Structure 1
Amino acid sequence: MELKTHEVAKELGMAPRTIRKWVQKYKIPCSKNDYGHYVYDQKAILLLETLKASSEVAGSLDEYESPPPIKEPTSIIQQPNEPKEQKMELLYDRINRVERLLDQKADEVVSYQLLQQRKEIEDLTKRVGELEEIILTLQTPSVKKYEPPLIFDQPVKTKRRGMFRSIFGL
């Protein structure tokens, strides 16, 4: 049974582009049809499954210089004759790889958070400096310049006509 790239990708739950990259990078043996498309046999599919299982995290294969050793088949369930020590060793290797990746990711997250906090502190320091300047300008007494009053600024005197009428009773 031979499958095309998109069929293998659907079966493995991966992107076809990733499968093509892995075939080229790890030199997985597969043939091409008349149109130049990859055609995968059962052995190639098993190798791709092994690579997927050993990578644990998508895209983490870039950190390896050479392809990881592939034992056919490497699935723990598919090899009942394999000694328990080898199965345990395989599990320990996977756990160690996942722990290394987790540590690396945690370091990246902490570095990013530190940079963000440093930026916030610098912004707050700048804002405090601006507020200090504003407070200093408000605390200095403002000196009023004495200007002579304008003619229009003086109050207008009202005439008291009602007072004379009340006195003389008119």
Structure 2
Amino acid sequence: MEKVLKTKEVSEELGVNPTTVQRWIKYFNIPCKTNELGHYLIAQKELETLLNIKERLNRGFTMKEIREKSDPVQVVKEKKEKMIATNVLEDKLEQLIIHIEQIERKLSVKADEVVEYQVLQHRSELDSLFTMITKIDERMSKIEQQLPSLEKKVVGGVEDHVPQHIKKTRKNRLMRIFSF
């Protein structure tokens, strides 16, 4: 039967804390048996793996680098575990499409509301302009009605409607000019 060591014995041999040994076993997925209390029982092969890990850490490698270089199969396995199942992805995609359609409907309703508001504003402005044009038209009609009487005054001679005292002063001024 193969000799197995407990975590404390391995930690003393490696010169590290027992929790460090436990952390390495979990992080690097080192296959170790456990006793009835759940403590690790580490065989010679696993001890060599732990010694190798300690040497690489002492040389400056990170735990992630060591894990990726020592067991590429494990890295691939972890990546596969992170992959999403097709049906889950399709469900998420369907939910996303539904959400996009809802946003598009809301956007369309908002755009319609904006256009409706603008049309109402333009309608109000057009009504205001129509009222102004109507008033201008009424004023023009009044002026046109008064035009025939104004034309008679001008055509018939302005002198007829000029007061008498203004006529004399003009006449006197003209006479003075020519009398010199």
TM range (shorter): 0.3 to 0.5
Q: Given the two structures, how large is their TM-score scaled by the length of structure 1? A: 0.41
Bigger radius of gyration, 1 or 2?
2
* TM-score, normalisation: structure 2: 0.39
Which gives a bigger RCO, structure 1 or 2 (Cα 8 Å, sep 6+)?
1
